[in-house]
């Protein structure tokens, strides 16, 4: 029987590395690229979806809590970046009134 690791930092690293993989796929082909709220929900739902069978339950819980805390910090930055990008787009291409039909 394999001895379970109690290294919570490894759990956090595995979880965060998995999130980078998922985010990369999302940026390339995902449906969340224009909806930060949906992206955040997807990230929160998936952050703990890793195989933790090589770790003690305590290490897995502690490592995933660390990963979630770090993810929340990143999501705060992502929200700010998305808001700034939306403002830039709005400034560069202000909405134009719909064209009227000429008779």
The mean pLDDT value of the chain amounts to: 80
Q: Would you state the pLDDT for residue 101? A: 47
Structural domain boundaries in the chain: 8-92
pTM of the model: 0.67
Confidence tier at 65 by pLDDT (50, 70, 90):
very high
- 3-state secondary structure string, the chain? CCCCECCHHHHHHHHHHHHHHHHHHHHHHCCCCCCHHHHHHHHHHHCCCCCCCCECHHHHHHHHHHHHHHHHHHHHHHHHHHHHHHHHHHHHCCCCCCCCCCC
The C-alpha atoms of residue 50 and residue 14 are separated, in whole angstroms, by 8
Q: Would you state the pLDDT for residue 51? A: 92
């Amino acid at each position: 029987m394999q001895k379970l690791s109690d290294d919570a930092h490894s759990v956090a690293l595995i979880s965060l590395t998995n999130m980078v993989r998922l985010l990369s796929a999302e940026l390339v082909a995902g449906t969340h690229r224009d909806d930060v709220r949906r992206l955040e929900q997807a990230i929160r739902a998936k952050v703990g979806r890793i195989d933790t069978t090589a770790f003690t339950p305590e290490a897995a819980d502690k490592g995933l809590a660390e990963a979630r805390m770090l993810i929340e910090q990143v999501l705060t930055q992502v929200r700010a970046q998305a808001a700034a990008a939306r403002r830039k787009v709005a400034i560069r291409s202000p909405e134009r009134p719909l064209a009227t039909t000429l008779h």
